[in-house]
Every structure is written in structure tokens, then in C-alpha cells.
């Protein structure tokens, strides 16, 4: 005798398990970019180099000045009007390259590996990716720079005690200049990230960054004096340097206008990167 059995059908009363909804929010995009930034070995190496350039070159400059003064030798022309602040910030020109190059790598590196396609698939609106990358790296660069410039000044001012260049942290304009230097380096990092996103090439982004910060001012110096004096204060690097200069030169901007000009260059780079990100495919 055989027994016929009918297949069991799932009960219609069994509730379906809902899938969790994952919404793309600004905080989650920021957390994602934060994780990606610190997962790269180049981040640790390049930030370490930037901090090393700030501290090491500032201390070396202070020690060299101290040695010249105590030995009675004639000071180098570059050190004639030096202060503890200018000597402590001697490494800013090299630190800006390290932070700017890392900014380029943060954005252009994803284009070179193709990872940007996965990123934009997860964040279809695109622009939050750029805002998050520039904000995360800009803040990191700012913090590293602030630690570097304040530590270097405190060490350098101790070395230069009793010399004509001596200053203390309470001297007029010192804290403002140190904060200006940190802000300048943080904004250089943002410009590097924007150039990497705009050009989508590591080599191209680094080339434009180095040219705009170091090569263009040298070329402008070849122009007639009237043209040079009219153009030079508004170049990115020159306007940025005025943000942390203790005393302003004859043809330079003061700290406030210098910050506004450099902020305008930064906004231009980020705006151009945003325009290309929206208008063209990855």
C-alpha cells in the first residue's frame, strides 16, 4: 500500500524577512573615506615625511643660526633678518610638497587602480565623494601641520634664546603666524586632492602642483619689475606665505587678504574638480 503525500507549501502567514536598508549619508561617506585614507601605507609614510621636514629642517636652521652667532662668523644673507619664527618654519616649503603629493594620491590613486568605479557606484550622487575626500585629508593635513609647527617653534625658540632672533610663544603675532602656517599646509593638501580628482593622473596632478607652487613664481620673477610686483602677491604660494609671515614685505599682501586669495585658489581647484566629476564618466 502506498501513501500519497502532497508537497508542503510554505505558509502564507510566515512573514518575509526584510532586508536592511543602507542609506548613503554624509557621515557614512566620511567614515568610508577616513578608513580608505588610513588603510594606505603611503599615507603613513608621506605624513611622516611631512612632519619630519617641518621639525628637522626648522631645528637645523635654528641650530645653524645659533652656531653662526656664537662663533662670531658673518651671518648668511638669508639669515640676516631671521627670527625664531622664520627659522622654525624653514621646512614649510618641503612639507607642502609632501602633503600636496599625498593629496594627489588620495584622489588620483583611485582612478589609476579603477577603484573609483566602485566608490561612485556606492555613492551615485558623486559630489559627496569629493567633499568627503577633500575634507578628511584637509583636516588630517591641518592637524599634522599644526603639531609640527608648534613643536618646532617651541624647540627652536629654546635653541635661539639669547640671540637677536629670539622670540617666545607669547610674542606679538607668533601664534597667529603658526596657525596661519598650519592652515596653509592644510589647504595645500586640499588643492592636491582637488588636482588629483580634476586631472585623474598622479603624474599630472603632481606636475601641476609643483609648477603652481614653485616654478611659476620663478618665471614671474623674470618679468619687468612693474609686472612682477603687480602679479606676484596673488600667486598661490606667495599669497599663502603671507598668511604666516610675521612682517610683510613691500609688495606682499597682509595675512587677511593673503588668506582670502589663497582660499580663492583652493575653491577654484575644488570647483573645477567638482565640475569634471559631474560632467564626465570615471
Q: Measured between alpha carbons, how far is residue 33 from residues 123, 177, 273 in Å?
A: 12, 30, 17
Residue 206: name the closest of 113, 98, 130 by CA. Answer: 98
113-169 confidence digits (pLDDT tens): 888 888 888 888 889 999 999 999 999 999 999 999 999 999 999 999 988 889 999
Question: In this predicted structure, what is the pLDDT of residue 275?
Answer: 95
Asked if pLDDT for residue 96 goes beyond 80, the answer is: yes
Q: Is residue 11 part of a domain?
A: no
Q: Is residue 249 part of a domain?
A: yes
Q: Is residue 3 part of a domain?
A: no
Q: Is residue 56 part of a domain?
A: yes
The values of phi and psi at residue 97, to 5°, are -70, -45
pTM recorded for the entire structure: 0.88
Q: How far apart are CA 31 and CA 199, in angstroms?
A: 25
| Number of structural domains found in the chain | 1
Asked if pLDDT for residue 21 goes beyond 70, the answer is: no
Residue 87, domain extent: 27-70+77-279
Q: Is residue 5 part of a domain?
A: no
Question: In this predicted structure, what is the pLDDT of residue 1?
Answer: 43
Give buried/exposed letters for 56-80 (b at 16+ CB in 10 A, else e).
ebbbebbebbbebbeeeeeeeeebe
pLDDT, mean of residues 214-224: 88
Contacts of 266 (CB under 8 A, 6+ apart): 187, 190, 191, 194
CB distance 152 to 88 below 8 Å: yes
Q: Is residue 187 part of a domain?
A: yes
Asked if pLDDT for residue 74 goes beyond 80, the answer is: no
Q: Is residue 18 part of a domain?
A: no
CA-derived radius of gyration, the chain = 26
Amino acid at each position: 500500500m502506498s501513501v500519497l503525500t502532497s508537497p508542503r507549501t510554505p505558509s502564507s502567514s510566515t512573514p518575509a524577512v526584510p532586508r536592511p536598508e543602507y542609506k548613503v549619508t554624509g557621515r557614512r561617506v566620511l567614515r568610508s573615506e577616513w578608513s580608505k585614507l588610513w588603510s594606505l601605507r603611503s599615507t603613513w609614510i608621506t605624513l611622516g615625511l611631512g612632519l619630519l621636514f617641518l621639525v628637522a629642517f626648522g631645528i637645523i636652521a635654528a641650530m645653524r643660526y645659533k652656531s653662526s652667532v656664537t662663533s662670531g662668523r658673518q651671518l648668511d644673507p638669508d639669515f640676516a633678518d631671521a627670527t625664531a619664527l622664520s627659522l622654525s618654519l624653514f621646512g614649510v616649503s618641503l612639507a607642502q610638497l609632501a602633503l600636496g603629493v599625498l593629496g594627489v594620491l588620495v584622489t588620483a590613486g583611485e582612478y589609476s587602480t579603477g577603484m573609483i568605479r566602485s566608490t561612485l557606484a556606492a555613492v551615485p550622487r558623486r559630489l559627496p565623494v569629493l567633499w568627503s575626500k577633500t575634507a578628511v585629508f584637509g583636516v588630517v593635513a591641518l592637524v599634522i601641520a599644526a603639531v609640527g609647527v608648534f613643536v618646532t617653534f617651541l624647540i627652536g625658540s629654546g635653541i635661539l634664546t639669547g640671540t637677536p632672533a629670539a622670540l617666545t610663544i607669547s610674542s606679538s603675532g607668533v601664534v597667529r603666524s603658526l596657525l596661519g602656517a598650519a592652515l596653509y599646509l592644510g589647504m595645500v593638501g586640499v588643492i592636491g586632492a582637488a588636482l588629483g580628482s580634476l586631472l585623474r593622473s598622479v603624474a599630472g596632478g603632481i606636475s601641476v602642483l609643483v609648477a603652481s607652487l614653485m616654478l611659476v613664481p620663478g618665471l614671474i620673477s623674470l618679468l619687468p619689475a612693474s609686472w612682477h610686483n603687480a602679479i606676484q602677491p596673488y600667486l598661490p604660494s606667495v599669497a599663502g606665505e603671507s598668511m604666516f609671515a610675521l612682517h610683510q614685505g613691500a609688495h606682499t599682501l597682509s595675512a587677511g587678504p593673503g588668506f582670502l586669495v589663497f582660499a580663492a585658489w583652493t575653491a577654484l581647484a575644488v570647483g573645477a574638480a567638482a565640475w569634471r566629476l559631474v560632467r564626465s564618466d570615471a
